[in-house]
Structure 1
Amino acid sequence: MSRRAASIASSAVSCADWRLLGLAVAILLTACADAGLAGLESYAERIKARPPAALEPIPEVILAEAFLYRPGDRRDPFVMDEQAAEQAAEAAQETRPTGLSPDPRRAKEPLEAYPLDALRMVGTLERHGTRWALVTSPEGTLHRVRVGQYLGRNNGRITRIEPNALRLTETVEKQPGQWARRPASMALKE
């Protein structure tokens, strides 16, 4: 017998062996299933035979009492008095950006959600005279940033992109209402 004929004969025998093994496993599993099936069916019948439990009644809805506003000597709730107007103007003045403070109305950029040390600079890219830095977030998402964009939780604005580092200026609050700028950097990590 040639080698090829011997290998075909051995593979035919191994296929037949696998078929017999599969058939034996199926028979054993069928035999095991029948023994537990009768107990399961009797349990299901006992559950179906039980009377249904009573449902709790729907809670009563309490209606709100109507109120008729009669101003008399009360102030009009829709008109601001002088003192309230002054307080509102002062609060609006405090929220305006002054000097070094960051603009609270500026829309946050995606990389400002992470601390600076959680971000990673992985490379640079230059196209049409503009240099971009490639930065990954903690989740592994790759972001392309350029000079003028923000990153980090301390209002860090990118000032310069070098081939091996990213330079930025952070604006931090030293004391309530007192802001300061400080330099920061992110080195290229491979």
Structure 2
Amino acid sequence: MMLNKINLGLMMSALLLSACGSNQGDDLDQFMANAGKNMSTTVAPLPEVKPYEPLQFNADQSLNDPFKARKVSGKLAPNLNRPREPLEGYPLESLKYVGSLSKNKLIYALIKTTDGNVQQIKIGNYLGANYGLVTQITDAVVTLKELVLDQASGDWVEQVTTMSLQEAEGGK
């Protein structure tokens, strides 16, 4: 019984395949034969290729070379051989001028650090990360002369900075 079903399936498949094999491909053969007749066999010549001429770039000699270390001019430069003072370890923005003292005609400024300590400085002391030299102390202001590295030229530049007296925390 099983063999009859297989034979019947094979005969049906053969019948279906023979029905698909008609002569309907004649028009396709005719199209393929005529398709190449209308094509031109000449190809237009390629345009002339101009030779590449690289552009010569001449940079201004005054521009900094980004691949060379910057040279610091000797006119202004911090003295790296002197001993560092304790207040140079703090950024200037974190220090506060909280008062002044005078002793033997010498005026001292009282500087409060971020950790709450108060230290006294006088003219000639250094404070802040930019080699700030104290040049003047008054009752209201401490004036510094800082040395800042100019990123564009690589030279040290003097910058005058002031610290104003801060009011005591908790009111007047």
Is 1:155 equivalent to 2:128 in the alignment?
Answer: no
Structure 2 residue 109 is matched with structure 1 residue 129: no
User: What residue is the counterpart of 1:113 in the other structure?
Assistant: 89
Show structure 2 runs of 5+ residues with no match.
1-69, 168-172
4+ aligned runs moved over 3 Å, structure 1: 94-97
Deviations 1:14-54 (A, max 9, x none): xxxxxxxxxxxxxxxxxxxxxxxxxxxxxxxxxxxxxxxxx
Give 1:159 shift.
Answer: 0.4
The alignment's TM-score, normalised by the length of structure 2, stands at 0.53
Q: How does 1:8-87 map to 2 (within 5 A)?
A: none
CA distance change for structure 1 residues 188 and 125 in 2, over 3 Å: closer, same or farther? Answer: same
Q: Does 2:164 align with 1:187?
A: yes
Residue 112 of structure 1: SS of its match in structure 2?
Answer: helix
Q: Quick one: higher RCO (CA 8 Å, sep 6+), 1 or 2?
A: 2
Deviation at 1:98, TM superposition (A): 2.4
- Residue 96 of structure 1 contacts residue 103 of structure 1 at CA under 8 Å; is this kept in 2? no
Distance 1:141 1:125, change over 3 A: same
CA distance in 2, matches of 1:103, 1:161: 22
8 Å CA contact 1:124, 1:132 repeated in 2: yes
Report Cα offsets for 1:53-111 as digits up to 9, x if no partner. xxxxxxxxxxxxxxxxxxxxxxxxxxxxxxxxxxxxxxxxx999822110111211100
- CA deviations 1:105-143 (Å, max 9, x no partner) are 121110011111100111000000000000011001110
Aligned-partner Cα distance in 2 for 1:96–1:123: 37
Cα distance between partner residues in 2 of 1:131 and 1:160: 9
Determine which structure has more spread, i.e. the larger CA radius of gyration: 2
Count of residue correspondences: 97
Q: Give the SS at the match of 2:93.
A: helix
User: 1:141: which partner in 2?
Assistant: 117
Distance 2:73 2:96 in 1: 30
Change beyond 3 A, Cα 1:145–1:95: farther
* Contact 1:157 1:169 survives alignment (8 Å): yes
Q: CA RMSD in A?
A: 2.1
Any unmatched runs of 5+ in structure 1? Answer: 1-93
Q: Which amino acid aligns with 2:142?
A: L
Letter paired with 2:138:
E
Normalised by the length of structure 1, the TM-score is 0.48
Note if 1:101 corresponds to 2:77.
Answer: yes
Q: Name the structure 2 match of 1:166.
A: 142
Within 2, Cα distance between the matches of 1:145 and 1:174? 28
Change (3 A) 1:97 1:132: farther
